[in-house]
Structure 1
């Protein structure tokens, strides 16, 4: 795995593990016990639903724990006006008037539909370290590449909308 995560990512993951362990797990186990007490398990939907919720909860806890154990801690060392982690970048395609804004985040917070991309994505890789006014060459694959002009770099830090992705 060895995902590149910030200390904040790890803190959020640990908070979710704690919540799932201390709050969700007891609720789910109580639901399993109550459903089991109803008798015949062969046609007991509540029992199967509670067991499924228990498996999903345990799976998420195990996933997050493994992510934390194998994480590589990263910190943004870019200058204030350079593209780096937790910075919003407004780009413009040459010969077009429209701009698009992206935020550079770690892989556990990435969501391209919400404009959050990683430094490992083709666009993110091309933008890293650049400044407003620079031209970035994005190479998607051997057949597709394009240029974008960096219009603005804004240091916004972490925001409420930067939630952990669900897998």
Structure 2
């Protein structure tokens, strides 16, 4: 796998797009209205609504820029299209430890990992150890 690629599952890409949409089409327009209203009230140096609004707009713009780049660079990998016995990106793997306890992981993209629900980044040490392995090995 190419370390420079942004591999992602359809579910992960949908989440990035949903966050982008919420920021650009819901939160940002409301915030622009608040900032415009606050600016119209006069002295901006002591206007908390204006100062907070401008700061939050910069945060939103940075996040939107980041999301745009990640979405543009996304290399979509659909787990439903993956077949076989070799562990590849988007695979769901069940590991059994020495005590016989099972742990289930899905190997996902950097933007969608969530260890609490068993989703690990394909760049993590555990995923790196699993990629390319066959069932039972």
Distance 2:68 2:26 in 1: 17
Would you tell me which structure has more strand in proportion to its own residues?
1
Aligned residue number for residue 98 of structure 1:
101
Q: Which runs of 5+ in 1 are unaligned?
A: 136-167
The 8 Å contact of residues 7 and 73 in structure 1, kept in 2 or not, is answered as yes
Aligned position for 1:72? 75
Q: Distance in 2 between matches of 1:114 and 1:29?
A: 36
1:36 is aligned to 39
Distance in 1 of aligned mates of 2:55 and 2:30: 13
Deviates more, 1:96-105 or 1:1-10: 1-10
Match of 1:23 in 2: 26
The question of whether the paired residues in 2 share the 8 Å contact of 1:2 and 1:67 is answered with no
Provide the rounded CA distance (Å) in 2 between the counterparts of 1:44 and 1:107.
39
- Number of equivalent positions: 132
CA RMSD of aligned residues (A): 2.5
Query: How far apart are residue 36 of structure 1 and its match?
Result: 1.6
TM-score (norm 2): 0.76
* Aligned-residue offset at 1:54: 0.8
* 1:104 match: secondary structure: strand
Q: Which moved more, 1:68-77 or 1:56-65?
A: 68-77
Structure with higher RCO (Cα < 8 A, 6+ apart): 2
- Alpha-carbon separation, structure 1, partners of 2:73 and 2:108: 18
Structure with greater helix percent: 2
Q: Give the TM-score taking structure 1 as reference length.
A: 0.64
Q: Deviations over 1:63-118 (max 9, x none)?
A: 11111222333344532665444443331223x23332222222111123442112
